[in-house]
Amino acid sequence: MKKENKVTLCIDKSFTVGKVDKRIYGSFIEHLGRAVYEGIYQPGNKFADENGFRKDVIELVKEIDVPIVRYPGGNFVSAFRWEDSVGPVEERPARLEPAWGVVESNRFGLDEFMNWCKKVGSEPMYAINLGTRGIEDAKNVVEYCNIEKGTYYSDLRIKHGVKDPYKIKLWCLGNEMDGPWQIGHMTPEEYGLKAGRAGHLMKMIDPEIECVVCGSSGIGMPKFGEWERVVLENSYDNVDYISLHTYYDNEEDNTPNFLASNVSMDKFIESVVSICDCVKATKRSDKTINLSFDEWNVWYHSKKKDAELEKWTEHPHQLEEDYNLEDALLVGSMMITLLRHADRVKIACLAQLVNVLSPITTTDNGVFKQTIFYPFMQSSRYGRGEVLNTIVKVPTYESKHGDAPYVDSVVISDEENGALTVFAVNKNLEDDFELTCDLRQFSDYKVEFHSVLTHKDVKAGNTENNPDEVKLSDNTSTAVNDNGVLKTTLPARSWNVIRLKV
């Protein structure tokens, strides 16, 4: 091992970033491709239950432990009529869905989604249409979902066989409304006013709800920054979070640059936090707007295939990524970046959950785990508690995103369950790194396991016929020595989870 290939983690249990909001491990189901149909819902399939829900998918979603699921879009929502998705299935209309160029049957809708959420143990994050529709429609769907009885829409829900209100707490006020691709896209002034008025009316119906206002569709948008400022100036008092979206690709086939993408993600988060606090100061407000990073992932493998799809068909194979090891490493680094900002990032949604840009892929014969399943699942299962301010002393390398550390890492302390978790990604494609961390403040903690995801080929991925090409393995040599120092090796090209318990 080269002398310089060492990484030191410096932590102190008194210096924390913030408590992890479990909703940071959320995901996303959009009416897009096979996310819904043939994804979570496939009546007649041998794996389907009495409701048509794929039982094999339910088990994997439970394994990840997804606390919230954003629904029904995405770009889809900006021309969506929520009324089409409730009531007797046989009476629901099929509609042209212009955002993705398909036909939406509405056989699966709001009532089915809420039933599915109960099955998997997730809470809904429901998006309303602020593209082609307005604040009255926003009011109506809140009434349908959250009012107990005695009004038109609450009684309509009861008529549809749902006695108890859904009590949806978290609502998205549209989607990517600055994007020229978005149906009904607006200027920041137009959208800020509309979103603020919608949030105001929705909270009059149910004061307990929280609202997410749309930030820019990405840091590369022409009006990024100005959009956030103007939107918040016009909606601040009626919203609770602002959204961030980002996807990264390796179309230039430069793995070191690709694995450094979370450096840009870090700058994105810090910029939006600054804008939120600037508006807070100018308004002399005591209220803090936090962040909802409700779309993030790797997306590029499927774009060429998607360009050849026939329009106006039902649930075609759209945005179906074949993820590889390097994608999983970046997803792990992005998850670490979100955790390192846990003081302000309270919600995040890996986009998406099944078949579309997903950790889970279904076939007629079952399901298999894409490479990105593992860092997402392990982060969710082991990343609960307090984020420690983790200083990572490690060499860096030059990238198009700026200087990037060879190792990304963060430490989570879960005192309630007597656990300490180290997440780490070694981005070096050739060399292992020797990791040390002084744990004398955690003298009662011993290594429970060190899980590693790696492969000799960064382009290796999983398929239906070879579902375990890239899978987790154990590093059994990791230990805390007599001086209270954790020592281990992070293999080249690896995602690592080191779990210690009292």
Block mean pLDDT (10 aa), the chain, length 502 = 79 96 98 98 96 98 98 97 96 96 97 97 98 96 98 98 98 97 97 98 98 97 97 98 98 97 98 98 97 98 93 95 98 98 98 97 96 98 97 96 97 96 98 96 95 98 97 96 96 98 94
416: annotated active-site residue:
no
- CATH code where residue 177 lies: 3.20.20.80
- Looking up residue 497, the CATH number of its domain turns out to be 2.60.40.1180
Of 342, 357, 382, which closes a domain?
382
Tokens of 199: 């949030």
- 370 and 436, same domain (yes or no): no
Q: Does residue 290 sit in the same domain as residue 429?
A: no
Task: Determine which one of 143, 295, 320, 326 is catalytic.
Answer: 295
228 is catalytic: no
Length of the chain, please? 502
Domain count, the chain: 2
Tell me: do 69 and 102 sit in the same domain: yes
**246, 323: one domain:** yes
> Domain span at residue 297?
21-382
- The answer to the question of residue 174 being in a domain is yes
Please check whether residue 318 lies inside any domain of the structure.
Answer: yes
Q: Are residues 179 and 217 in the same domain?
A: yes
Per-residue H/E/C for 373-404: HHHHHHHHHHCCCEEECCEEECCEECCCCCCE
Query: Given its phi and psi angles, is residue 425 left (phi above 0), alpha (psi -120 to 50 degrees) or beta?
Result: beta
Is residue 106 in some structural domain? yes
1 domain residue, yes or no = no
Last residue of a domain, one of 343, 366, 382: 382
Shared-domain flag, residues 325 and 285:
yes
Classify residue 16: in a domain, yes or no.
Answer: no
Query: Residue 262 is encoded by which pair of tokens?
Result: 């979370």
Mark whether 212 and 185 lie in a shared domain: yes
**In this structure, what DSSP letter does residue 236 have?**
G
Whether residues 163 and 292 fall in one domain: yes
Question: 459 with 317, same domain?
Answer: no
Give the 3-state secondary structure of 311-327. CCCCCCCCCCCCCEHHH
175 and 302 belong to one structural domain: yes
Rounded (10°) CA dihedral 365, 61, 335, 173 = 110
Q: Token pair of 284, please?
A: 């002399």
Task: Provide the token pair at 374.
Answer: 């593992």
Whether residues 172 and 77 fall in one domain: yes
Query: Of the residues 382, 397, 426, which one is the last residue of a structural domain?
Result: 382
103 and 164 assigned to the same domain: yes
Q: Which of 38, 83, 123, 176 is catalytic?
A: 176
Q: Which residues make beta-bridge pairs with 69?
A: 27, 124
* 152 domain-assigned: yes
